[in-house]
Structure formats: structure tokens, C-alpha cells
Structure 1
Amino acid sequence: MTESLEDTEIVAPHFKRRLSGVTSSIIQLVPAQRQHGDNVATIGPGLPDWLPHLPLSALFKLWRPPRHRALRIWHARRNIEMLPGIVMRDLLRMKLALLFTSAAQRRHSSWTRFLIRRMDAVVATSARSGSFLEVPHRVIRHGIDLTRFSPPASPDDDMAATGLPGRHLIGCFGRIRHQKGTDLFVDAMIALLPHYPDWTAILCGRITPEHAAFGDELKARIAAAGLSERILFLGEVEDVRPWYRRLSLYVAPSRNEGFGLTPLEAMASQTATVASDAGAYAELIVDGETGAVVPAGDGSALTQAIEPYLADPARAAAHGLNGLAHVRTHFAIEREAAALSDVYAALFDRRPVVD
């Protein structure tokens, strides 16, 4: 859906083709922002055509401000998007205000710090990511689209619809790689599943060529344990949402993350979640009520946190219900859209974003 440049007041650039957490965030957030009344359009590759977008040629027309504003906001989420904004504002003198959303859970490189210092405003997606910023910022946590991720509602949402063995399903979603902790999940399943015959484990996610050896080694471990029929690699599924609903327990074992939306997607699907404390996970999960949080990279702690759910599926069901209520109260995407709208209003009015 191509948008009018004259009516576009906020540009959300997306300059990487590869699917990432930033991609998922933009796909869910932009429609909510439009519903809220903000004239946001994306620009760049790697996003679905149905999102409101500008052609790349619009980059050469940003000297003209939008119809009803003195300036336009450039909302970047990566270095590759901050830099063009700086060039357009400072060298080409386009009427732009630059906003950066930071999700990084580490000290930024000197180059990234240089770029961030030149932003007009900065948002952090979690308190933890904000702790690594050296500039004033506002914390606005990501939300989840509760119309896209929702509780089980039909027979297709039951595990029985999968044709897989067992009565309960445990899953780990995301690209198969060391950073995502896939090996920690596999090791936990190898240790636990022989004791809990009613459970089957699935992994949904792509194995890229550079991580093929890692994936092959995991499959070899599973085969050696005699669990190839109960720990299954489904690959990159066309629609992951029904798989969230079929799970009794979701596991997010990442060693490091930016923010990490999958626990919110799971809880919005009424699924209990065990996660590491990477990214913002510890700020999303209520430990002991909606799931459990363990230290990132600690395979033993992950296994110990998962086992009570396998031993007591009723616990998983109860924490799934709690998680759904928690997400609906605190993480509806409309809350994120409203908070960002406040930031935009301050930038349009040339007011400080952080008091």
C-alpha cells in the first residue's frame, strides 16, 4: 500500500531484507500506530506489501515537509538507518527530526554511540537496554498485537491436530543457532523427555547454511538418545501462530537478545513460558506466575525450570492463563503505539522527550 509523501509524517526505515526482531516489531506496530492516528509509513525492503510504505525514490523528496507539519520524523532502529537520517538532516538540510529505538543489551560500539549522540530523541525497549545508553532516553517496551496472537479457539489449536505423539507439546521457536540457545533446549529435552512420555518437543525455525553444522550436531545428539520421534525440527513454518496455541509450554533459551518478542507471543496465545534472562525476557515474565526465568546460558537451571511443568501439566495450564491476562493488561501493542505517539508529539513541538 503506497502512501502519499505529503501525508506521511513519520517514516519508519527498514534497510535489511533478512527477517529479524526489528522486522516483526515494525509489522505489528505500524498498523497500531495508524489506528492511533499517527501517519506512519515504512520505507525499504523486507516488509510485506500490505504495510503502508513509501518508494525508495521518496528519499530524494524529503526536503518538502509533510502537509500539516513543519518537519517529518525519521524513526530509525539500526545504525544503517540512523546514518542516512543524519546525512539527510545535517548535510542535505532536510526538515527531519531523528528518533532512535535501542534494544541492544550491551555497551554500544564507539560508532553506534557517535550516531546515537546525534539523535533528537532516543527510546529504549527495556530498562536493561536503557542502562547501556549514555544519553537521556525514555523506556517504551514492545507490545504484542492481540488480534494476531490469541488463545486456542478451535480443534486445530489442539495438539491432537498435529498428529504428533503424546498429549502435551513443548516448543522452542527461532533460528537454530548457538546465540538462540537451541542446544540448551535440546539438551534439556534429552534429559527430561525419557521421564515424561506424554510430552513431545518441537523446534520451529530456519537453519541457515552457516549454522548447518550446528543443526546437524544437535540432530545427531537427539538420534543418539533415541528421541528422533519426540524432538522434531519443523523448519520455518508458514504460520507459527497455531503452533503457539498448540503448546503447553514455550521455552526461550537465548544466550543474548535485543528485546525478544516470542515470550509475549506465547503468553498472548495462553501458553506458559520458561525463558533465560537475555534481552527483556525478565521484564516480560512474572516468575512463578506466568512462567519462569533462569540465567542466560545456564543449561542446568533451564532444565530444572522446565521439569515442574512436565511433571504437572495443570501448572502449565494455570500459568498460561495468567500469562494471557498479564499480556492483555501490560503489553497490548496499543500501549506501545500510544507511548510512541507522545514522543512524536514532543518532537513535532520541539519539546524535550525526557523531562
Structure 2
Amino acid sequence: MSGKVPASASGQPLPVRDVEVVAPNFKKRLSGVTSTIVQLVPKQAESLAITTVGPGLPDTLPKLRWWQVPGLLLKPRNRPFRVWHARRNPEMLAGVVLRDVFRAPLKLVFTSASQRHHTRWTRFLIKRMDRVVATSRKTASYLEVPNQVVMHGIDTTRFSPPPGPAEGAAAVGMPEGQRYVGCFGRVRHQKGTDLFVDAMIALLPERPGWSAIIAGQATQPHAAFEAGLKEKVRAAGLADRVHFVGTREDIPAWYRALSLFIAPQRWEGFGLTPLEAMATAVPVVATDVGAFSELLENSGAGTLVAVDDLGAMVAAAARYMDDDALRGRAADAALLHARSHFPLEGEAKTLNGIYEDLWRKASK
């Protein structure tokens, strides 16, 4: 570590000259990328002078105010340049403009989670990065430039099992005497929330000891979609057993209420929810999208099913719901796998190592 690490207390403006790495966040609404920044930056800040800039982030994070941005045109106190770590196109563009137009002393790093062929504009921006990170092997296969795979990690102190088997549901006020299967994330077609609802309509009538929890926001364009799902649940006579609980700030506590997690997505960039469940010792049934296959690989933590295959999803979930011993073994395997292979500290250390490599090469 080269110098003073910016303090994050109370979100006060930070001395620009001390800042070594900037993690921009130009999207106000909560997303997977924003969640990654919120979890990762404090861990990186333990050994590096890193700050955020942009809206939609909690004040507990180290951050620059917009009026401080011109200070990035000056060389940092303890480094030959700063690192600008972008995760979206607008953030890449801002870095390019700062470096190439305003001659700011910056090196640009981009993390890609996309699993599709990039547009010409995105490829143009990526080729102007100094380093490129892919969040999975699948993502790396879509990149046309050299890259390094760094999979997301999970904060295993924040996401952890409940002290006892009966304490999870009680802590979030859910009726006791039930086991819960959950589906967490934004409520929309892309996320497969309708598949989860259809699976519950098929599974719950014959399993009176189980109920379901759907946690997540339906934004205005998807409000009718959510309303339709609630009506379908009501028509099936399950309104008292399929709980739509909306957005929850204390989401780790809601994972602790679960005995099974289903990730029914039709498309995903990376997808942290299976990993959050695994770190909470909850088995997972997930579709083969995003990084889900790589998260579950050789883990014994759950089952992968094909996208949009409701029958396979129902069958896989039924196996875990009906077999306590199988579910227990998968829960143990999930916890061990998340803690062994995906600690947040590992992701932070690897990314900080990429920055250090850039600085080291500049000093030769």
C-alpha cells in the first residue's frame, strides 16, 4: 500500500490527491453492477486508496463529489497515475475522455459481465482499455481482446447461515412451522419470476409443509407482470403460501429463512443470487445462464436445468423438497463451496493485484 487510504465515514468528500483508484457508478437505480461495487469497494479499501463517484451509492462508501472530478487531471500523490475501473459503457467513455481528451493521468480497466456479442460501439470502447476483466469463462469467450477471468466473490460474513434451523423464518416475521423456497431478484420476465410461480403452483398443493417467498422489485414497466403473477397465485388458492415481500434492505436475513433457492432466469450477465444462497447454506436449483454453471461446477450444492424448462425445474425442486438428507448434504456442500472458492476477499485481492501490476510496469 502506497499511502493513506481514504476514510469512508459519513461519506465526506475525499482528498483527490490521495485517490489511487476510482470505481465509477453512473446508474442511479440498483443493479447487479451497483451491488458489486457496494460490496467490493470497502473490501478493496482495506489495502488501497479507492473511491467511488456517481449516484445511487450509500454514503458509507468512500466517494468523490462531482466538483472534485477536475482534480483527477492532476497526478496522484503516491502513484504515477490513477486507475479508472469501469463496468458499463458510459463509464468506459468517461474514462477515455478524461485520459485521451483532457490528458488525465489514468489507466483504464473494464470489467465485462455480458454474455453476448458486443456492439461495434462497445468493441470500440473495450479496445481502448488498458486491462479487461471477464467475470466468467462464458463472458471471456465473447471478448475479442486479451482478458483475465475474475469471478465475483461473496461477503461470507454478511451472507451466512442462521444460528439454528428454526431461527431464520422467525427473524423476518414469516409463519413458523413451514419450510420456504425462495426466488430473489427483480420481478420481470427476463428473471423468470413467472417460471418460479408456475413451479410453485405445481409443487405446493401436494407439500403443505412448504411455502414460497418472492423478494424483489417490480419497476413500473413490469408492474402489470407482477400483478398477473399475484392473480395467478390467488386463482390457484395459494395466496397465503406464496409471499410477495417486495424489495428488502435486509436481504441476507431473508436468505436465512430459506431451505431451497431457485434461480429461474432466462438471461443473466453473472448472477449473484445463487452464490448468496450458497453462502447461506441453501441448496440451489438454477437455469444454465450467466455464471450459474461455473458457480455450481463440482460443488454438490444444487442442480442446473435448461432455460425455460419448467418440467425440469419442478422435478429438480421436488427432489430437494422431498428428501431432507439430500437437502442437508447439498446445504453443507453449498456453504463449503462458497467459502472455499468465492470469498469476497479473493476477488478484491485479485483486482488490486491487477492495478498493482499496471503501476509496477509503469515504474520499470
Q: Name the CA shift for 1:313/1:331 in 2 (closer, same or farther; >3 Å).
A: same
Q: Secondary structure at the match of 1:6?
A: helix
Residue 103 (str. 1) matches residue 113 (str. 2): yes
CA gap 1:127/1:288 in 2 versus in 1, 3 angstroms: closer
Superposition pairs for residues 31-70 of structure 1, below 5 Å?
A: 31-35=42-46, 37-70=47-80
Match of 2:197 in 1: 186
The worse-fitting range, judged by mean Cα deviation, of 56-65 and 273-282 is 56-65
CA contact (8 A) 1:185 1:253 kept: yes
- d(CA) in 1 for partners of 2:299, 2:61: 38
Deviations along 1:126-180, whole A, 9 cap, x unmatched? Answer: 0011111000000000001112111112688333553426521100001110000
* Farther-moved stretch of structure 1 (279-288 vs 73-82): 279-288
Name 1:298's counterpart in structure 2: 309
Structure 1 residue 220 displacement after superposition: 1.5
Q: Does 1:136 align with 2:137?
A: no
2:294 is aligned with 1:250: no
| CA distance in 1: counterparts of 2:98 and 2:296, whole angstroms | 40
Q: Secondary structure, in 3 states, of the residue corresponding to 2:73? A: coil
CA contact (8 A) 1:32 1:334 kept: yes
- Larger deviation, residues 258-267 vs 178-187: 258-267
Matches of 2:165 and 2:212, distance apart in 1 = 20
1:1-355 mapped onto 2 (5 Å cutoff): 1=11, 2-35=13-46, 37-153=47-163, 157-161=167-171, 162-164=173-175, 166-286=177-297, 289-350=300-361
Asked whether the 8 Å contact 2:25–2:53 carries over to 1, the reply is yes
Task: Tell me if the contact between 1:33 and 1:40 (Cα under 8 Å) persists in the aligned partners.
Answer: yes
Identity percentage of aligned residues: 52
Q: What is the alpha-carbon distance in structure 1 between the residues aligned to residue 57 and residue 72 of structure 2?
A: 21
Root-mean-square deviation over aligned CA pairs:
1.5
| Structure 2 counterpart SS, 1:169 | strand
* 3-state SS, counterpart of residue 50 of structure 1: coil
8 Å Cα contact 1:203/1:234 also seen in 2: yes
Total equivalences in the alignment: 350
Q: Which runs of 5+ in 1 are unaligned?
A: none
Distance 2:327 2:164 in 1: 19
- Change over 3 Å in CA distance of 1:228–1:88 after alignment to 2: same
Higher relative contact order (CA 8 A, sep 6+): 1
Determine helix, strand or coil for the equivalent of 2:256. helix
Q: CA deviation at 1:270?
A: 1.1
Once the two structures are TM-superposed, the CA of residue 238 in structure 1 deviates from its matched residue by 2.9
Q: Contact between 1:146 and 1:332, CA under 8 Å: does it hold in 2?
A: yes
Give the whole-Å Cα distance in 2 for the aligned partners of 1:40 and 1:182.
36
Q: Retained in 1: the 8 A contact 2:300–2:330? A: yes
TM-aligned CA distance change 1:287 to 1:155, over 3 Å: closer
Separation in structure 1 between the aligned mates of residue 204 and residue 298 of structure 2, nearest angstrom = 23
Q: In 2 relative to 1, CA 282–347 (structure 1 residues): closer, same or farther, beyond 3 Å?
A: same
Equivalent position SS for 1:24: helix
TM-score, normalised by the number of residues in structure 2: 0.93
Q: Is the 8 A contact 2:17 2:71 kept in 1?
A: no
Distance between the aligned counterparts of 1:107 and 1:257, measured in 2? 14
Partner AA of 2:141 in structure 1 = S
Q: Which amino acid aligns with 1:49?
A: D
Note closer, same or farther for the CA distance 1:288–1:43 as it changes in structure 2 (3 Å cut). Answer: closer
